[in-house]
Amino acid sequence: MPYDELQETLAENKQTLEKVFQHTEDLQVQMMTLQEKKALVCSLKTMADDQKIVQQLTTMEAGISLKEMSEKVTNIQDMVEAILLGNTVVLVEGKQEGIVLQTAQEHERSPDEPENERVVQGAHNGFIENLDVNIHLIRRRLKQEDLHVTYKTVGKETENNVAIVYLKGKANEETIQYIEDQLEVMQQKKVRVIGELVNYLLRHVKTIFPKKLYTERPDRTTAYLTEGKIAILMDNSAIACIVPISFFAFFQSPDDFNEQIYDGTLFRFIRLASFIGALIFPATYIAIITYHFEIIPFEMITLVKNSIETVPFPPFFEAFIMIVTIELIREAGIRLPSPIGQTIGIVGGIIIGEAVVTAGLVSNVVVIVIALTAIMSFTIASYEMGNTLRILSFPIMVAAALFGFVGIVASTLIILFHLCKVKVLNTPYFFPLAPFDFASIKRILFRIHRETMDVKKK
């Protein structure tokens, strides 16, 4: 039955159609007269856009290129499929074929401000799941003929459109070529999310630090494009992926540029300092309590001693318990709706924190240390960098438990050297500190702009 040819009489076709759709009530079948012929307009009310139907029927009525404008269906099966996609099929009396009108409804999220990249002041729009809209958002901010967009299709089963966006002349040609070549290879692979794509692109870069920067903000993306970076966007992903990226990009926020140099720089340094702090603060506590009690000033010794005297665990284990607890609270709260998330925060933070100290399992000092560490780790705007931070703080804690301060210095030394060593797509990751470039340090760390510097020279 499904492969039956269409009949010449409209009534017969209508009957078959209603039978196939099991007399569903959102099926619209309307009789009307088109170009003085009887016609049957069939569509699903829930899938088709009424405005589009009216618009296209008017065009048909006007008689403009009726034959070329749409594709045709000749059997029931094709017709049903077309209707299910949201298209409208017009059957004309006396013809064994139907004309398909593209009338599918499209529902897009409006480009709202991304939840995880809020700014205090400034632009409040973000990318959505539609590639064209995203590129529109970029182009609107970067009205230049140099802005180059290359489309590629990737993915074997789920074909996805990928756009490579860059400023010609600023971005590195070799890198672009490399990315385009790699995307050709990706056509044969399964690609579900943009992360798979980028991870494949950067699979030779061996590092625990985030190799790419995801952003949902068009202003941030355009800022990087003008610096010569390349943005990769994919249909159905509301993020732009910026490559090649450097370490310090994760500590910048569009807010910094809106403010004066002084506060922008201050906030940037607070973020960097909290990164370092969150990395070594728990380890420092462990080292001091385990090995270097002498370093605590005389006035503080009794305070600390009273606090830790009753604790049955070694400092490493003590800190470890608290860190795991904080991680649990974070992980539990992150995907819950906010009212429940708040409850988790109260139960986890206040009740557990208070009870665990009262019970004498951990000391007050360690609660302060770990809570401060957690807050410091949240100042880092980037989710990925925060994850790296959490992972890295554990080996440093172990090193501190084994070697005290020497262990902390040794492990930070290794991390620092790792940062010097890593290159993402032939771009040094720790730029501008390694290789050392004073002019860029002024620009990236102290946020003194080239333009402002030029003005000063004049």
Among 123, 434, 441, 445, binds another protein (CB under 8 A): 434
Q: In whole angstroms, how close is the CB of 292 to another protein at the nearest point? A: 5
Instruction: Tell me the longest C-alpha to C-alpha distance in the chain.
Output: 102
Among 104, 266, 352, 420, binds another protein (CB under 8 A): 420
Q: Does 405 bind another protein (CB under 8 A)?
A: yes
The per-residue b/e assignment along 325-361, b for 16 or more CB within 10 angstroms, e otherwise, is bbeebbeebeeeeeeeeeebbeebbeebbeebbeeeb
Residue whose CB is less far from another protein, 6 or 425: 425
Which CB atom, from 378 or from 436, has the smaller least distance to another protein?
A: 436
# of chain residues touching another protein (CB under 8 A) = 28
Note whether 404 binds another protein by CB under 8 A: yes
Minimum CB separation of residue 297 from another protein in Å reads 5
Specify the residue, 85 or 419, whose C-beta has the smaller distance to another protein: 419
Residue closer to another protein (CB basis): 214 or 430: 430
Q: How far apart are CA 125 and CA 148, in angstroms?
A: 22
142 vs 409 by CB, closer to another protein: 409
One residue of 218, 277, 282, 407 binding another protein per CB under 8 A: 407
Does 403 sit near another protein (CB under 8 A)?
A: yes
Subset of 144-173 contacting another protein (CB under 8 A) = none
Q: By CB under 8 A, what part of segment 280-299 binds another protein?
A: 291-292, 294-298
d(CA 378, CA 183) in angstroms, rounded, equals 35
One residue of 414, 426, 439, 449 binding another protein per CB under 8 A:
414
Q: Shortest approach of another protein to residue 335 CB, angstroms?
A: 37
Determine if 413 is a binding residue for another protein (CB under 8 A).
yes
Task: Tell me how far apart the alpha carbons of residues 450 and 381 are, in angstroms, rounded to a whole number.
Answer: 25
Distance of closest approach, residue 206 Cβ to another protein, in angstroms: 12
Pairwise CA distance, residues 85 & 87, whole Å: 6
Q: Does 406 bind another protein (CB under 8 A)?
A: yes
| 409 near another protein, rule: CB under 8 A | yes
Inter-residue contact 284 to 400 (CB < 8 Å): yes
Among 436, 449, 450, 453, binds another protein (CB under 8 A): 436
Binding site for another protein (CB under 8 A): 291-292, 294-298, 403-410, 413-414, 416-418, 420-421, 428, 430, 433-436
